[in-house]
Amino acid sequence: MRTVLRTLSPETDHMSDPVTRLASLDEPWTETKLEKVLIEVAANDGFDHAAAFTLPSTDEQGLHTRYLLGNWSASFQRSYEKCGLHRHKVVVATLNTDPMPFEWDIDTLYGISDPSPSEGARLVAGAGWSEGVLLPVHGMTAICGALSLAGPGPLPPQTRIRQLQAFAFTFFGMLAAVRFEENRRNNPLTSRERDSLRLAMLGKTSAEIGLILGISEYTVSQYLTSAQRKLSASNRTHAVAMAAQLGYLS
Q: Comparing C-alpha atoms, which of 10, 13, 18 is closest to residue 36?
A: 18
The string of DSSP codes covering the chain is -PPPP----HHHHTT-SHHHHHHTPPSSP-HHHHHHHHHHHHHHTT-SEEEEEEPPPTT-SS---EEEEES--HHHHHHHHHTTGGG-HHHHHHHHH--S-EEEEHHHHH-TTSSS--HHHHHHHHTT--EEEEEEE--SSS--EEEEEEESSPPPPHHHHHHHHHHHHHHHHHHHHHHHHHHHHT--S-HHHHHHHHHHHTT--HHHHHHHHTS-HHHHHHHHHHHHHHTT-SSHHHHHHHHHHTTTT-
Contacts for 23 with CB less than 8 Å, ≥ 6 apart? 170
pLDDT value of position 141: 53
Whole-angstrom distance, CA of residue 82 vs CA of residue 76: 10
| pLDDT, one tens digit for every residue, the chain (250 residues) | 333 434 444 444 445 899 999 999 998 899 999 999 999 999 999 999 999 998 876 544 558 899 999 999 999 999 999 999 999 999 999 998 899 999 999 999 999 999 999 999 999 999 999 999 999 998 755 678 999 999 998 999 999 999 999 999 999 989 988 877 776 677 889 999 999 999 999 999 999 999 999 999 999 999 999 999 988 888 999 999 888 877 788 7
Whole-angstrom distance, CA of residue 114 vs CA of residue 151: 20
pLDDT value of position 176: 83
Model's pTM, two decimal places? Answer: 0.72
The CA–CA distances, whole Å, from 31 to 67, 70, 106, 170, 182 equal: 13, 10, 30, 13, 11
pLDDT value of position 14: 41
